[in-house]
């Protein structure tokens, strides 16, 4: 075991990213390779305080992206579950800090993500390489004996994926989910999250990007390494609408498959039921959507899921021309949220269709007039949030690794 | 150049003296709900007639032929000047527009406001991830000019929801409602689907003219078509002000014809066919609902 005195570590950290000189460390040789970072990393893992921006975190965060390859190769196979769990915590905290804190930006050369706002690509940003580091650690941890390591890693994947979905960091999420599902192929929550990812890719906000993604994947598969940059919204793309629609349907088909799998693995997973119904409705199958979502709409669910179930039921009933049932569902959705605009617009649609245009106008006026306080409307974020949400899942994971 | 996405749609409509419209007090905010009914006693139709790119003037009632569910109706010509134009400006406030583009859009809105004539009013709806009625119909141009530049950009585009609200608002004032709807792209965030929006269009009376930038899908051209409006796909926001002015001017010069439905069942969907003697491209609503939709 590499050892390093705490004083030496603190001195090194005080110097920022300066590395301890080889001679200052009593043992840095493992398998014939001398690397002062190995000992520094091990010390950082042991001394980092969970969820704190401390010196071990800031020091390791400042290392170049390629520094971890050798460190992990040398160290990971010999460490125990407790150490690996701590290492997972350190790199998760670094990734979180690099996502949210300006003083700890991700290093250049890391993975790049495209920022899409309202359906349009706006810029690219560098993402933390520490999710990938953490995944390597998770892969070692899950091999350890006993039920805890696997439970810790599964909880980590659920929490981190929910967080990435909440951020809308879908490229990072895709890689994270792929690794998670490879380890836990029968985890219903990961299947739900994978379905939600593809539901988001099928969303109008991301339809163009999803289409480009699919084209890029196809070109790579055919050995074409580069893709011409896609023009802005004014660029001539005569087939954009048709191919965008087709790409959306393809994503929604994948989402449907994943939600069905999640439900097969856990029939009580109501969120998967609601999202499956939403996707079925988007694919034009409202009759089946009603059948699927009805049990969730009748269940006693937390507010987000209860609202979402009522909205999906209302929309599908409306599409089927069952306006009384649609109105009742929208009423429930409005009640769950104290009158979210989306639910009220649904209510106004039903009033209009039932021949009450004055009532329809009164309803929308009440929730859209200037000066009316905007209420949180879960409809605008259904493709980003899960129930339970990322914060709850993250806290549960942190409790597990304490 | 206005795209002829909705060319020669044999259609038209709108209601009713029977509406008992009670809103749109000039200069006033919404104080009480409008009172109107889905019952149709008199159908009024805004009709645009063009030969080539020129609007045809000088037609009389005898020049129009209207079929309501295939049954010919007795047509009367309404003096357009007797019916003030009420404009609902529905403008995209999503933050996909940069500051310069937003400036162009504000200028376009103000151009419509500045062009309002006595007796004419405007209402303003903005939308991003939520829809806001900035003001109901008012003739207070100063207030409108201020509000059109005041909306705070936000993410996403609840375009269909906004169009639904704008069309409902359009029917809240006596006169001829027109919705001028601008978005820089297609819907991304509405609770309403395209089909639901088109159903709203068939149940309300506003003529919807759509100006878009970039991709817009199939719903917006169809929305313009079923309401007898126009669909304009622009390439640059600095041209939108001219398009708005062109739309308003063209709307004022449309014909308003009316008829009392005769020889047709009262309840249900009425398909309209509008033609003119001597031919021409006719743009008008595709039909109207009387009474509630049948429940399945």
pLDDT over 90 percentage in chain A: 59
Mutate to test the interface with A, among B153, B185, B187, B188 (most CBs of A within 10 A): B188
Give the CATH number of domain B17-81+255-290: 2.60.40
Mean pLDDT, each 10-residue run in order, chain B (296 residues):
30 27 30 39 94 94 97 92 92 86 95 96 94 95 94 82 97 93 89 95 94 86 97 94 97 95 93 95 95 69
**Residue A15 predicted with pLDDT over 50:** no
Q: How confident is the model at residue A402 (pLDDT cuts 50, 70, 90)?
A: confident
Which residue in chain A is spatially nearest to B155 when comparing CA positions?
A: A118
Q: Are A40 and A68 in contact (CB under 8 A)?
A: no
If one counts every other C-beta atom within 10 angstroms of the C-beta of residue B5, the result is 18
For A94, phi then psi, to 5°, come to -65, -45
Nearest alpha-carbon partner for A123 in B127, B102, B96:
B96
So what's the pLDDT on residue B94?
80
Burial class (CB in 10 A: 0-12, 13-18, 19+), B202: middle
The CATH architecture one would assign to domain B83-252 is: 3-Layer(aba) Sandwich (3.40)
Q: Which of A120, A315, A368 to mutate to test the interface with B (most CBs of B within 10 A)?
A: A368
Superfamily of domain A286-383, CATH level 4: Tetratricopeptide repeat domain (1.25.40.10)
Q: Do B213 and A234 touch (CB under 8 A)?
A: yes
End-to-end CA distance of chain A: 23
Average pLDDT over residues A162-166: 94
Instruction: Select from B95, B168, B217 the Cβ nearest to the Cβ of A118.
Output: B95
| Mean pLDDT, range A192-216, rounded to an integer | 80
Copy the structure tokens of residue A262.
């999640």
Question: Can B17-81+255-290 and B83-252 be said to share one CATH topology?
Answer: no
Query: Taking residues A246-263, what's their average pLDDT?
Result: 93
CA pair distance A47, A56, nearest whole angstrom: 7
Q: How many CB pairs under 8 A join A and B?
A: 158
SS3 label, residue A232: coil
Residue A20 has pLDDT above 50, yes or no: no
In chain A, which residues have their Cβ closer than 8 Å to the Cβ of B94?
118
CB B129 within 8 A of CB B156: yes
pLDDT top residue among A162 and B25: A162
Alpha helices in A338-389 (DSSP H): 341-353, 357-368
Query: Cβ of B271: how many Cβ atoms within 10 Å?
Result: 13
Q: Do A320 and B292 touch (CB under 8 A)?
A: no
pLDDT for the residue numbered A380: 86
- Each domain of chain B, given as residue ranges in start order, spans 17-81+255-290, 83-252
User: Residue A34 — pLDDT band, cuts 50, 70, 90?
Assistant: low
B129 or A116: whose pLDDT is higher?
A: B129
Nearest by CB to A322, from B30, B136, B296: name it: B296
Q: Cα angle vertex A372, ends A367, A378, to 5°? A: 55
CA B148 to each of CA B92, B115, B208: distance values in angstroms, whole numbers, following the listed order: 11, 15, 19
How large is the C-alpha radius of gyration of chain A? Answer: 25
Is residue A16 a contact partner of residue A63, using CB atoms and an 8 Å limit?
Answer: no
CB of A192 within 8 A of CB of A257? no
Angle at A145 between CA A141 and CA A148, to 5 degrees: 70
Contact B47, A366 (CB under 8 A): no
pTM across the whole model: 0.83
Non-local (6+) Cβ contacts of B149 within 8 A are B106, B109, B110
Select the more confidently predicted residue: A65 or A251: A251
Interface touch B291/A342, C-beta < 8 Å: no
Q: What is the DSSP string of A97-131?
A: HHHH-TTSPPPTTS-EEEEEETTEEEEEEE--THH
In contact, B14 and B45? CB cutoff 8 Å: yes
Task: Output the pLDDT for position A327.
Answer: 98
Interatomic CA distance for residues A158 and A140, integer angstroms: 18
A367 vs B18, more confident: A367
Domain residue ranges of chain A, discontinuous segments joined by +:
1-145, 147-224+242-267+388-402, 286-383
The reply to whether residue B168 touches residue A361, judged by beta carbons under 8 angstroms, is yes
Which of A91-95, A124-128, A161-165, B197-201 comes out lowest in average pLDDT?
Answer: A124-128
Q: How far apart are the first and last CA of chain B?
A: 43
Tokens of A345: 């617009």
Residues B238 and B48: their CA atoms lie apart, in Å, by 26
Residue A341 in tokens: 């605009």
Please give the residue of chain A at the shortest CA–CA distance from B135: A370
Region A257-267: mean pLDDT is: 98
Query: pLDDT tens for residues A298-327?
Result: 999 999 999 999 999 999 999 999 999 999
Please tell me whether the peptide bond between B63 and the residue prior to it is cis, using omega within 30 degrees of 0: no
Q: Which two tokens stand for residue A151?
A: 């439970």
Pairing relationship of beta strands B64-68 and B121-127 according to DSSP bridges: unpaired
Comparing C-alpha atoms, which of A119, A124, A115 is closest to residue A240? A119
Is residue A394's pLDDT more than 90? yes
Quote the tokens at residue A179: 């690794």
- Tens-place pLDDT, residues B28-85: 333 222 333 445 689 999 999 999 989 999 999 999 999 999 999 999 999 877 899 9
- Regarding beta strands B85-92 and B176-183, do their DSSP bridges make them parallel or antiparallel, or are they unpaired? parallel
Chain A stretch 240-259, residues whose beta carbon is closer than 8 A to a beta carbon of chain B: 240-241, 244
Q: Enumerate the residues of chain B whose CB falls inside 8 A of the CB of residue A341.
A: 130-131, 161
Q: What number of residues does chain B have?
A: 296
- Cis-peptide into B274, omega within 30 deg: no
Q: Which long-range contacts (CB under 8 A, 24 or more apart) does A227-230 make?
A: A230/A121
CA A216-A221-A226 angle, to 5 degrees, is 45
Q: A105-109, A119-123, A214-218 — which one is most confidently predicted on average?
A: A105-109
Q: Which residue of B has its CA nearest to A363?
A: B33
- Helix ranges restricted to H, A184-285: 188-201, 207-221, 240-265, 270-282
Going by pLDDT thresholds of 50, 70 and 90, the confidence category of residue A67 is confident
Which residue from B12, B48, B91, B106 is spatially nearest to B247, judged by alpha carbons?
B48
- B155-174 confidence digits (pLDDT tens): 788 999 999 999 999 989 88
Mean pLDDT of A361-386: 84
Structure tokens at A200: 């988001």
Find the CB nearest A233 among B172, B184, B191: B184
Q: Taking Cα atoms as reference points, which of B237, B226, B117 lies closest to residue B183?
A: B237
Output A2 or B44, whichever has higher pLDDT.
B44
Beta-bridge partner residues of A33: A30
**pLDDT beyond 80 at A290:** yes
How far is it, in rounded angstroms, from Cα B233 to Cα B212?
5
């Amino acid at each position: 075991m590499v050892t390093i005195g705490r004083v030496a570590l603190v001195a090194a950290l005080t110097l920022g990213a300066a590395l301890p000189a080889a001679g200052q460390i009593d043992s840095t040789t493992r398998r014939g390779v001398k690397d002062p970072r190995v000992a520094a990393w091990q010390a950082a893992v042991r001394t980092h305080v969970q969820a704190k921006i401390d010196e071990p975190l800031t020091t390791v965060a400042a290392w170049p992206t390629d520094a971890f390859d050798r460190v992990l190769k040398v160290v990971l196979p010999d460490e125990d579950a407790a150490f690996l769990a701590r290492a997972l915590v350190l790199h998760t905290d670094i990734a979180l800090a690099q996502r949210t804190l300006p003083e700890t930006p991700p290093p250049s050369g890391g993975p790049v993500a495209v920022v899409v706002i309202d359906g349009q690509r706006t810029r690219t940003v560098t993402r933390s390489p520490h999710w990938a580091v953490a995944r390597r650690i998770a892969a070692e941890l899950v091999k350890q004996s006993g039920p805890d390591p696997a439970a810790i890693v599964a909880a980590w994947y659920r929490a981190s994926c929910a967080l990435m979905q909440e951020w809308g960091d879908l490229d990072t999420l895709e890689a994270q989910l792929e690794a998670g599902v490879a380890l836990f192929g029968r985890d219903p929550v990961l299947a739900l999250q994978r379905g939600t990812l593809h539901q988001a890719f099928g969303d109008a906000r991301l339809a163009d990007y999803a289409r480009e993604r699919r084209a890029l994947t196809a070109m790579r598969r055919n050995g074409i390494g580069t893709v011409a940059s896609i023009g802005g919204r004014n660029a001539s793309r005569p087939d954009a609408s048709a191919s965008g629609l087709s790409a959306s349907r393809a994503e929604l088909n994948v989402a449907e498959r994943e939600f069905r799998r999640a439900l097969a693995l856990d029939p009580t997973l109501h969120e998967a039921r609601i999202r499956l119904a939403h996707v079925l409705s988007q694919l034009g199958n409202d009759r089946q959507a009603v059948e699927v979502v009805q049990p969730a709409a009748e269940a006693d669910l937390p507010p987000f899921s209860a609202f979402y179930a009522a909205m999906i039921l209302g929309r599908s009933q409306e599409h089927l021309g069952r306006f009384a049932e649609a109105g009742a569902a929208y009423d429930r959705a409005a009640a769950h949220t104290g009158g979210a605009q989306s639910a009220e617009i649904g209510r106004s649609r039903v009033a209009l269709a039932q021949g009450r245009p004055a009532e329809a106008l009164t309803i929308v006026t009440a929730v859209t007039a200037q000066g009316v306080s905007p209420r949180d409307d879960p409809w605008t974020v259904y493709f980003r949030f899960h129930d339970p949400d990322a914060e709850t899942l993250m806290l549960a994971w942190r409790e597990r690794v304490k | 150049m206005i795209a002829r996405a909705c060319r020669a749609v044999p259609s038209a409509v709108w209601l009713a003296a029977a509406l008992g419209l009670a809103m749109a007090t000039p200069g006033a905010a919404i104080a009480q709900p409008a009172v109107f009914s889905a019952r149709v006693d008199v159908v009024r139709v805004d009709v645009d007639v063009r030969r080539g790119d020129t609007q045809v003037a000088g037609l009389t009632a005898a020049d129009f032929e209207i079929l309501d569910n295939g049954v010919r109706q007795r047509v009367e010509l309404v003096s357009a000047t007797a019916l003030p134009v009420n404009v609902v400006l529905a403008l995209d406030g999503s933050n996909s527009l940069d500051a310069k583009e937003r400036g162009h859009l504000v200028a376009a809105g103000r151009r419509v406001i500045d062009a309002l004539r006595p007796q004419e009013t405007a209402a303003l709806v903005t939308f991003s991830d939520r829809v806001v009625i900035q003001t109901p119909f008012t003739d207070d141009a100063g207030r409108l000019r201020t509000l059109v530049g005041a909306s705070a950009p936000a993410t996403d585009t609840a375009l269909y929801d906004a169009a639904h609200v704008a069309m409902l608002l359009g029917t809240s004032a006596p006169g001829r409602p027109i919705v001028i709807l601008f978005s820089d792209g297609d819907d991304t965030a509405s609770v309403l689907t395209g089909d639901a929006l088109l159903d709203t269009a068939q149940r309300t009376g506003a003529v919807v003219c759509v100006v878009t930038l970039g991709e817009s899908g199939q719903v917006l051209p169809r929305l313009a078509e079923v309401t007898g409006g126009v669909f304009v796909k622009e390439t640059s926001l600095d041209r939108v002000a001219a398009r708005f002015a062109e739309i308003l001017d063209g709307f004022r010069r449309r014909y308003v014809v009316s008829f009392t439905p005769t020889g047709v069942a009262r309840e249900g969907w009425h398909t309209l066919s509008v033609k003119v003697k001597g031919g021409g491209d006719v743009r008008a609503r595709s039909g109207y609902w009387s009474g509630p939709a049948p429940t399945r």
